[in-house]
Chain A
């Protein structure tokens, strides 16, 4: 009897090494694949759903402080080190990979208002309510050694904020005025005042390292050049800004966190009108920090949520909250752009993923490719209603959900009223003011 067998040459289908790509005989002629769009759509839908399934952003909570966490500082050279200062004057140094506190020191009496690590990572500065600036060693003191600051500077007034220069031994503080200090001297090398009684934050520009920005209590944002004797310019807004943060990749953009629930991104050359108004919070925004890639920023709010905004989007792409997290006072984006750290009122520091559904750790090449492909699919079909609905859905605490609704109603009512007024008045008497222009009162030269 004759047995028919298929015979094939193994050369046609066996890989030479296991690292080779599997050879798949395939005809790419598009006429042979009439259903490519529906198939990709299905894949995109599945990818979107899986993204929501795997979105587990919360990684860890670091507890140990005995009062609310008031300030955070990233280590400039080590990714796993975090510093936090609390409202009782205690500073803690954390090891993030072990998720434990490695060092505690009583830095000030009263609040630790500001904290910053020197650019070399060997020491850090703190300012407190006790009118002092202290410089501390980053190393833990040896056995028997006392925890003492390297330097202490006694100021005349309370310092409320602190930032260090990117490359030189110069730092800036703010309080009644903005002071620039040399590390070697006990008096400021320069003081800036402009008829304001108190500042809440000061930040060096990380790219144009001689520029500074500060937020003042007269609802203004003031810009300085360290080399000049006078401030540069100031913009007065409708409400007070709490902090600002410069974009680390684009020298002239900064974003400020405002009391009116919004964030504003400005071009420092054109302060008359913000580039973008970022809305979504339902209470005052307390802190903001840019991703080191400069593509996104994260904001902390009094409404107990953390939100992530794309640099050029008006609304957030992500909102993080937990049941136990109270008002978020301070926020930092880690310097490898993968994590977010938030310090809140209820004495905890929380570690979040920057991309909620991202798989952490080392990925196999195939995993990477698959992730890239699904990401592109999601982008490609992002405008399709089902996919958009699933991708945008977030669970919110009831209070925030309702408050969002309420705010929307209020906003609509205001707009309606304005429209009605315009309709019943002389043409041109009630001009249309855009949302961006609404929040700037004046620019003072």
Chain B
């Protein structure tokens, strides 16, 4: 290389000498270099000769150059192109050239193709741009899933990467937190010393260590076992939690009772098998009993009990609840007697009789019951009332002193009253079926047909009586279910309209019923208890209307007065009749009418006193098809108008709006109410969730890469949900493999082409 450059340099230097003194100086330097080179070559030759390896000197060439170089050889025919064959020719036969190279050379010689001209700058730039764009487009497309997800989302909350407000998982808190107070440090030391998990891993370090010690199969089995145990544990925990959350008192009561029963059973066994354990249990029970005796719990003296006592008069449930409380108290305060305890007690008694109090102090004794009923857990006997009255008579001073006691007495009295009433009712109930049975047995010969007919007649009488005041009474009165729809239908409409409103206010059928029943009974003495039937009927009608009435006589008087007052006030208004008239008018108006198209004097003589002939009248009378049955045909208290209201048209949608496919779809969306008047609180919250939620005064940053990774994670989770862990990890790995490298490989290939 150096020689070649030298040769050309010497040529050029001779040309340049005349022009430039500087170049001249350079040429001189070069000449000196050449001298050095020559000397060096001679030295190398001498040295090689010394070794005696190769004595044959290099062949001399008869050219002007000092040293020949293979590159500086001038071709024979100047200006001729060097052919590939010229270069290859020498290499073809030489043994040093491997056969592979020779083959390649041959192939080269055969192919006539030439390399294309390089692209113009514009073209290459264009290709570059295109590639860059494709790359950018692919890169940007990774946001697609996020964008679609956000567009479909029911609610978007901004700013997006906010920390959730709720409680954080333990690991997050612990990771950035150190034990500071001595107590915390102690706890942490304990945890770390016992190798207890702090971050809630699957296995504790101890468990992991033991796993490591086992063989793989054993470990797998053990692991499965552990998992099962954990699952069971969590299952039971969940169950217990669920049961604890059940609000039903009855459920808990039943549970408690069952538990107690179970416990008692076990206890009896325990006495036999494990006396010390049984003794402990016994002590526990004794403690519970003591606590119960000390506290006022279950003694119906609390706020709840007072509230219940108020309601107890009307509410059977309240009464029962109070009773149950008392029973509970009784149960708890009862001393548990078992073989074990009795034995011990006997022993103890024997050992320390003088020291301890006698056992009856704690027991509820019949002698003390009358003075303190709570000790026994039962209601005091009837004679308690006279005692109380005596006390009251005795003096107010004493009353003030024993106010509490008095309160208790009052409650007690109340309860007693309930009880007595209940007893009475039970007796009645017991009597009633008995009486009926008797009658039935007596009446068997006569048969049921008579009873039916009689009953029917009585009910009809009732209906007629009920219908008469319904006409005269105000509209609301008519809706009192005294007259049902069927009843009205039974009546001919003309009748109801024509019937004059009765002058005197009629009492409700409830009052009427008994006398009619009496009459019936007078007529047929031993047939059937008509009173029974009718009173029952009357009850079902009146109870929901007047729940507070207790005395029938007083109530009827007052009601009568009220009714009279109302009648007086609305003397002129006959609302029901008006309404019916109105309805009739509407019905008539809607009925199709016969159209008379006869023209007098058309085709025949007309004039005063002349009528069109009957034939003609018949011919030109157009009969219209009968109208469809009215919608309010079977609704006596309703008028449904089917005429089109033009003012409504302005508020109605005329064509199907854009995103909807069908009318039904649109109508259903409109029909679904959103407000809290028609939906539960939770539903309303869900329905009225705003589409975009922003926070006041917080900067919303543009979308970040984190969102992308979060989205990917979410996807993976969603896809792998419900699968076991190892599978999931495998799949993740596989996906990772699929996603990662191919992209990389794909891009360069594009770059190449």
**Chain A residues in contact with chain B, CB under 8 A?**
2, 4, 7, 9, 11, 21, 26, 28, 30, 33, 36-37, 39-41, 43, 76-77, 79, 166, 206-208, 211, 223, 225, 228-233, 248-252, 268-269, 292-295, 335-338, 361-362, 369, 372-373, 375-377, 380-381, 383-386, 445
Q: Is B692 part of the contact surface with A, judged by Cβ < 8 Å?
A: yes
- Residues in B with CB closer than 8 Å to A336 are 694-700
Which 10 A-B pairs rank lowest in CB-CB distance, beginning with the nearest? Answer: A206-B702, A292-B700, A248-B702, A383-B657, A251-B143, A232-B133, A228-B132, A372-B688, A36-B673, A269-B137
Q: How far is the CB of A359 from the nearest CB of chain B, in Å?
A: 11
Write 21 A-B pairs (CB below 8 A) sorted by A numbering: A11-B307, A26-B677, A33-B673, A33-B678, A36-B675, A79-B699, A208-B139, A208-B143, A228-B128, A230-B132, A233-B129, A249-B702, A249-B703, A250-B150, A268-B136, A293-B694, A336-B700, A373-B688, A377-B675, A380-B669, A383-B657
Residues of B within 8 A of A229 (CB): 128
Q: Which of B141, B158, B653, B698 contacts A252 (CB 8 A)?
A: B141
When distances are taken between beta carbons in the complex, the residues of chain A under 8 Å from B156 are: 293, 295
Within 8 A of A (CB), among B655-689: 657, 666, 669-671, 673-681, 684-685, 687-689
B444 to A: closest C-beta gap in Å: 47
B115-157 vs A, CB cutoff 8 Å, 1 = contact: the mask equals 0000000000110111011011101110100010010000010
On whether the beta carbons of A445 and B133 are closer than 8 Å, the reply is: yes
* Complex-state Cα separation, A268 to B138, whole angstroms: 11
**Residues from chain B with Cβ under 8 Å of A337 in the complex:** 158, 694, 700
Within 8 A of A (CB), among B626-661: 650-654, 657
Asked whether, in the complex, the Cβ of B690 is within 8 Å of the Cβ of A372, the reply is yes
Determine chain A's interface SS by DSSP, over half rule: loop
Asked whether B608 is an interface residue with its Cβ less than 8 Å from the other chain, the reply is: no
* B674 and A373 form a contact (CB under 8 A): yes
A230-B128, A336-B696, A445-B129 in contact; A292/B673 too (CB < 8 A)?
no
Partner of A250, one of B143, B158, B677: B143
**Residues of B at under 8 Å CB distance from A?**
125-126, 128-130, 132-133, 135-137, 139-141, 143, 147, 150, 156, 158, 307, 310-311, 548, 554, 650-654, 657, 666, 669-671, 673-681, 684-685, 687-690, 692, 694-704
Query: How far does the alpha carbon of A351 sit from the alpha carbon of B139 in the complex, in Å?
Result: 38
Bound-state CA distance A375–B690 (Å) is: 8
- Whether A77 pairs with B143 at a CB distance below 8 angstroms is no
Q: How far is the CB of B712 from chain A (nearest CB, A)?
A: 15
Known: A28-B679, A166-B702, A228-B132. A252 touches B674 (CB 8 A): no
Number of A-B contacts (CB under 8 A): 159
Q: Which residues of A contact B141 (CB under 8 A)?
A: 252, 269
Kindly state the separation between the CA atoms of A323 and B699 in the bound complex, as whole angstroms. Answer: 32
Nearest CB in chain B to that of A6: its residue: B548
Q: Chain A contacts of B554 at CB under 8 A?
A: 2
- Other A-B contacts than A232-B136, A293-B694, A445-B130, 5 sampled, CB-CB below 8 A, are A36-B673, A251-B147, A338-B696, A385-B654, A386-B651
Q: What residues of A have a CB within 8 angstroms of the CB of B137 in the complex? A: 268-269
Interchain nearest-CB distance for A10 vs B (Å): 8
Chain A neighbourhood of B704, CB < 8 A: 207
* B140→A269 contact, CB < 8 A: yes
Q: A292-B158, A385-B653 are in contact. Are A211 and B678 (CB under 8 A)?
A: no
Residues of B within 8 A of A250 (CB): 143, 147, 150, 703
A33 pairs with B702, CB closer than 8 A: no
Q: Which of A208, A362, A384 contacts B696 (CB 8 A)?
A: A362
Which of B135, B136, B681 has the most chain A CB atoms closer than 10 A to its own CB? B136
Cα-based distance from A336 to B701 in the complex (angstroms): 9
Nearest residue, chain B, Cβ from A166: B702
- For B313, give the chain A residue with the smallest CB separation: A7
Q: Which residue of B lies closest to A38 (CB)?
A: B651
Knowing A77-B699, A380-B674, A385-B651 are in contact, say whether A251-B140 is a contact too (CB < 8 A): yes
B314 CB, nearest partner CB in chain A, Å: 8
* B671 / chain A contacts, CB cutoff of 8 Å: 37
